[in-house]
Amino acid sequence: MSALILHHYPFSPYAEKTRAVLGYKRLAWHSVQIPPVMPKPDLMPLTGGYRKTPVLQVGRDVICDTALIVRVLDRLHPTTLVVPPANRASCAAWAALEQTLFFSAVATNFAPAGIKAMAERMGPELMQVFGADRQAFFVGGAARRPNAEFGKLNFIPHMHAIDVQLAEGKPFLLGDAPTLADFCAFHPTWFVRNNPGTTTALDPFKNLLVWYDRMKSLGHGRPSEMSAEAALTVARESTQWLDLDGPLLEPDGIKLGQPVVVRATDYGVDPVEGALIHASVFELVVQRKDERAGEVRVHFPRSGFSVVPVQTH
């Protein structure tokens, strides 16, 4: 099986979710650092336009969105399942809550004390570029950039609910082992706890903080640095494909092999064009050719992504 290559940057919460899953599974992986803002010139050859963080590369297969990344990691490394069958519906419910937790953590970080600490870490130049980049990130999608009101109504109330649930004595949200529920709740918590300007917001939640340390102690597995150029060489020289996931469920009016455009529907809606290779309830897969990456397949979750024929977009 091809090695795992994660394209990410240190302060990305969704990347931290993935790093924690890699830690729980005790996996070795290659770490490719990508910029936190556009342009991302060495990532685009792989994804064909998708810009969100993180992206998982397995040989010449490119997996977008952590919902699918976690599923692929469970398929490739099933000894420690993040979504065990006994908890599948509960995990789906937590996954549905994840964006609310993340957006409320973002809004909390963007409160004055959080922003001041972020600016000190990033420096004034990157901070300015970052603000403009994230403004553009939300153009054209169904989601709205979270505001302070959203943060107030959601962050502390959900942290409180998690704290109360953990007081019942189980080490993880759904029992004795971590599941997707924990990883979905962990990265927004990490985002706020890790910001010196907002870290004390979590001080009242003693059970949550014990759980948070437990999650952190899962570590990140065994990362080793890889250059973006080396990752592109891996893609170009790979000869295998990942197995396609799930029985065929063609989108209305679209046939396999047809040129299509796939994009996220919420935010970061940049289009990716390619030939439709697979469509199931789990994933949409397009195949495309790039000068630097060679022939690659880009995988997206089916849910939360749109697919249309090229001529109508």
Ligand X SMILES: N[C@@H](CCC(=O)N[C@@H](CS)C(=O)NCC(=O)O)C(=O)O
Tell whether residue 13 is a contact of ligand X (CB under 6 A): yes
Could you tell me the smallest distance in angstroms from the CB atom of residue 176 to ligand X?
26
For residue 286 the two structure tokens come to 């397009």
Pick the binder of ligand X from 7, 19, 25, 51 (CB under 6 A): 51
Q: x-or-dash pattern for ligand X, window 128-147, by CB under 6 A? A: ---------x----------
Query: Which residue, 67 or 82, has its beta carbon nearer to ligand X?
Result: 67
- Picking from 311, 209, 217, 196, the residue whose alpha carbon sits closest to that of residue 261 is 311
The owner of tokens 């469970």 is: 74
Rounded CA separation 133/147 (Å): 16
Q: Return all residues near 112 (Cβ < 8 A) that are at least 6 apart.
A: none
Query: Which residue, 76 or 275, has its beta carbon nearer to ligand X?
Result: 76
Handedness of CA 79, 89, 144, 152 (dihedral sign): negative
Tell whether residue 155 is a contact of ligand X (CB under 6 A): no
Stretch that binds ligand X, among 12-20, 21-29, 216-224, 237-245 (CB under 6 A): 12-20
Tell whether residue 223 is a contact of ligand X (CB under 6 A): no
Pick the binder of ligand X from 4, 29, 36, 43 (CB under 6 A): 36
Pick the binder of ligand X from 5, 12, 56, 299 (CB under 6 A): 12
The owner of tokens 């009101």 is: 149
Instruction: Show the 3-state SS of 237-268.
Output: HCCCCCCCCCCCCCCCCCCCCCEEEEEECCCC
Binding residues for ligand X (CB under 6 A): 12-14, 36, 51-53, 65-67, 137, 268
